[in-house]
Amino acid sequence: MGGDGRTRLRPGGYAAAGGGQGTGGILTIEEHSHIGGLGGAVAEIIAEEAEKKVSFKRVALPSEFTKHVGNQNYLRGIYGLTVDGIVKNALKLLGKNATKLVKSALQVDLRIF
């Protein structure tokens, strides 16, 4: 983020990070409108620079006033901005690769302990 609170992404960073290749996908999470945020910036970079198809999903608030009433935690649950919601979106994004990647991650974690 820049000093003014705006998101800054440089296309070179996308290429340097491998463009999402080998990761199973890119998931962005933001607690504000999906318009004009990090997810939109990442989507633009993927559209312009991806050499191969990259699975992408953004979890954010809709760009309209909510019809739901409740505290911040309740509204996070409605829009998938909880741990459970983020995990569900990540597994959906990974699709068939989810089981393999989760098992691989668990094996790495187990070796640490």
- In this structure, is the dihedral angle defined by the CA atoms of residues 14, 17, 19 and 23, taken in order, positive or negative? negative
Q: Would you give per-residue pLDDT tens digits along the chain (113 residues)?
A: 445 655 565 655 555 455 566 667 888 899 888 888 888 888 888 888 777 788 889 898 888 888 889 898 998 898 889 988 888 888 888 887 776 766 666 554 444 43
Query: In terms of Cα–Cα distance, which of 93, 95, 37, 34 is closest to 59?
Result: 34
**Does the reported pTM lie above 0.95?**
no
Q: Do 34 and 40 contact (CB within 8 A), yes or no?
A: yes
